[in-house]
């Protein structure tokens, strides 16, 4: 197996609905944003994600995605994701803008005030970035693009979508921008 070639595997999620996608590839700047951008363009919503960066410079990420994508049959969707996402991970093309989708009626009438918290982790080695907001199409990709634009490195991430509420926690490193 070529160590520089991304490995992308998908299957029906073992619990609940959707597909579970596993990615193993050499880590690089903006990787999380590139993955989120692919799912955004393909019409999938990320319900859950677990991001891990290994000590030897590789990313091992799992996502649970929902939605029909461009093809309704799950076997075709799995094959499409495995091929297209692997190709996207080899790309150096600039990241595109997030899609603009409609907010759900519940979010429009009962919005969740966004909150962002950043603090040092227990050891002081990383920063913990916590974001709580109303979920909407392109939210995670928008956050990922901002992190990538400011050269913020993702060490781990826990992405949870609970109905219309997004609760995302990132362990990050990076230089503070000049004031």
User: Which residues does 163 contact at the CB level (< 8 Å), separation at least 6?
Assistant: 106, 135
Q: Is residue 2 part of a domain?
A: no
Q: Is residue 179 part of a domain?
A: no
Q: Is residue 178 part of a domain?
A: no
Q: What is the pLDDT of residues 151-165, one digit of tens each?
A: 999 888 998 888 788
Q: Is residue 148 part of a domain?
A: yes
Q: Is pLDDT at 130 greater than 60 in this prediction?
A: yes
Closest by CA to 101, choosing from 156, 155, 39, 150, is 39
Q: How many CA atoms lie within 13 A of 36 on its CB side?
A: 28
Q: Is residue 22 part of a domain?
A: yes
Q: What is the reported pTM?
A: 0.83
Residue span of the structural domain in which 44 resides: 7-173
Report the number of distinct structural domains present in the chain: 1
Q: Is residue 55 part of a domain?
A: yes
Kindly report the CATH number assigned to the domain that includes residue 155.
Answer: 3.40.1020
Q: What is the pLDDT of residues 79-88, one digit of tens each?
A: 999 999 999 9
Rounded CA gap, 45 and 128, in Å?
Answer: 24
């Amino acid at each position: 197996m070529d160590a520089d070639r991304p490995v992308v595997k998908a299957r029906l999620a073992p619990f609940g609905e959707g597909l579970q996608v596993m990615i193993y590839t050499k880590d690089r700047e903006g990787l999380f944003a590139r993955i989120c951008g692919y799912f955004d363009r393909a019409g999938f919503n990320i319900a859950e994600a677990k991001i891990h960066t290994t000590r030897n410079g590789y990313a091992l990420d799992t996502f649970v995605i929902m939605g029909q994508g461009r093809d309704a049959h799950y076997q075709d969707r799995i094959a499409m994701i495995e091929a297209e996402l692997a190709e996207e991970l080899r790309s150096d093309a600039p990241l595109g803008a997030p899609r603009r989708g409609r907010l759900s009626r519940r979010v429009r009438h009962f919005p969740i005030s966004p909150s962002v918290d950043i603090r040092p982790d227990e050891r002081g080695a990383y920063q913990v970035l916590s974001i709580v907001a109303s979920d909407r199409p392109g939210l995670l990709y928008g956050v990922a693009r901002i992190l990538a634009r400011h050269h913020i490195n993702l060490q781990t991430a826990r992405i949870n979508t609970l109905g219309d509420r997004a609760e995302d926690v990132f362990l990050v490193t990076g230089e503070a921008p000049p004031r």
